[in-house]
Amino acid sequence: MTDNYYHRILENQVVQGSVVKKASGNRNKVVLVLGARQTGKSTLLNHCLVSKDRTFTINLQDRRLRRRYEADDGLLVRELEAMTEIDSVLIDEIQKVPALLDDVQYLYDKNPAAYDFFITGSSARQLKRKSANLLPGRIHTHILSPVLQAEQRDCEILPFHGMKSGKFPVRDLSDCLVFGNLPGLYHEERRSWSRTLASYADLFIENEIRQENIVDDMGAFARFLWIAALESGNFVNFTKLASDIGVAVNTVRNFYQVLEDTYIGIRISPFERSRKRIINAPRFLLFDLGVRHILAELPLNDTLIKLNPGHIFEQWILIELYYRCLYMGSGYRLSTWRTATGAEVDAVIETPDEVIPVEIKWTDHPLPGDARHLETFIELHGKFSHRAYLVCRCPKRQKLTENVTAIPWNEF
């Protein structure tokens, strides 16, 4: 076990949204970091605090503390006004008491430079259901991912510049595919990883779903969750899934929305600028492979990879590319492309300057024929697409065709 802090891509954005602006005399923004449980939101924000001894922290996971703020409107305002030594406020799991955002707005509007506000949340659904005040014009919102390859090593596709030393340790591909990339695993002994993931699944169902009364029929949701985990990475057939579970199609759509709102689910929509008739169904993935395997009741060992290596490898790359696009900001989007005639590209990266198709294959010996759908995509979309990648397990990068380069999984 190690207590080392490993740097995250979001650090610079979080700091630039708050303390840097304050130091320069400009209006600092409230920083809201959303994301699934155990992605390291609190750890990230605690690291970004300039003066921890001058920070007022509220952890709303503490039931007694939560009840105090629920029962007493304006308590946070009164507490802070009585503490002259405080200059930062950290509120964990704001969806538990979203009314605190009204106090944050009052304090911010009264004196925008008085405090740096850092807030975390793991359920946008709870904030929306409780009509939370999301501080329009006053807030910078970020979503935190599990650990990315880009937080362990240099990457070629959508690289992040300025990452500090102290990156996460590099792990074997098999460990990533079996156990996923929750940051807590990097601080634990390997023998405890399975228990940690099993506990995660239980806590998600109990804390995020059952206790918060997010769904009316827990039995149907449990059946859905198991199937959705098994089907992770596939194109979604809402009608078939509804029939398998025994619920209405709209109920299945709502269940998928629950996963997205709790940051457990990732939706990858079809490429919208296609010149061919395409399949409009989205692909849906769970945000972390280890969590996916536990929810699907699959074994956490190498047998899992032997059963279906290509499908698991593809999901892992797609999750990584999805979050890279998210971190890059406006103008970046991950989509998928599958035509009615059978041409298919696993991932399409849309940037402000170009569109980059990416194919994902388990092979360690790529051939020019593996690039045919990528070349078809470029041929159809030549105005804005000029290069493509095939991500695989080849030991060295290769030029497969004029436009397509094969790159190893640990370099993409």
pLDDT digits (tens, 9 = 90+) for 355-396: 999 999 999 999 999 999 999 999 999 999 999 999 999 999
Distance of alpha carbon 33 from alpha carbon 92, whole angstroms:
10
Residue 20 CA: distances (Å) to CA of 12, 13, 14, 164, 296? 10, 10, 9, 17, 44
Q: How confident is the model at residue 2 (pLDDT cuts 50, 70, 90)?
A: low
Q: Residue 100 has what pLDDT?
A: 94
pLDDT at 26: 47
pLDDT, position 20: 40
CA-CA distance, 323 to 275, in Å (whole number)? 27
Q: Considering the chain, what percentage of its residues have pLDDT values greater than 70?
A: 93
- Burial class of residue 48, CB neighbours in 10 A (0-12, 13-18, 19+): buried
Whole-angstrom Cα distance, residue 324 to residue 299?
28
Out of 139-153, 163-177, 209-223, 316-330, least confident range: 209-223
11-143 CATH, one of 1.20.210.10, 3.40.50.300, 1.10.3080.10, 3.20.20.10: 3.40.50.300
C-beta neighbour count of 205 within 10 angstroms: 16
Encode pLDDT of 187-232 as tens digits: 999 999 999 999 988 888 777 777 666 777 888 998 999 999 999 9
Cα dihedral 48, 186, 38, 142, rounded to 10, equals 40
Q: Express each pLDDT in 45-86 by its tens digit.
A: 988 887 778 999 999 999 999 999 999 999 999 999 999 899
pTM of the model: 0.93
Boundaries of every domain in the chain = 11-143, 170-412
Which is higher by pLDDT, 118 or 161?
A: 118
Q: Which residue has the tokens 């008739």?
A: 277
On the question of pLDDT at 19 being above 70, the answer is no
Beta carbons of 54 and 88 less than 8 angstroms apart: yes
Query: Quick one: which of 359, 332, 363 has its CA closest to 346?
Result: 359
Buried b (16+ CB within 10 A) or exposed e, 178-190: bbbbbbbbbeeee
Our measurement of the distance from residue 94's CA atom to the centroid of its chain's CA atoms, rounded to an integer in Å, reads 18
Query: How many angstroms separate the Cα of 102 from the Cα of each of 74, 133, 211, 259?
Result: 9, 6, 24, 27
Give me the pLDDT at residue 21, please: 44
pLDDT at 31 > cutoff 50: yes
Helix 249-261 to helix 238-245 angle (10° resolution) is: 100
b/e string for 267-277 if b means 16 or more Cβ within 10 A?
Answer: ebebbeebeee
Position 250, amino acid:
N
Confidence of residue 23 (pLDDT cuts 50, 70, 90): very low
Least confident range of 90-104, 190-204, 206-220, 277-291:
206-220
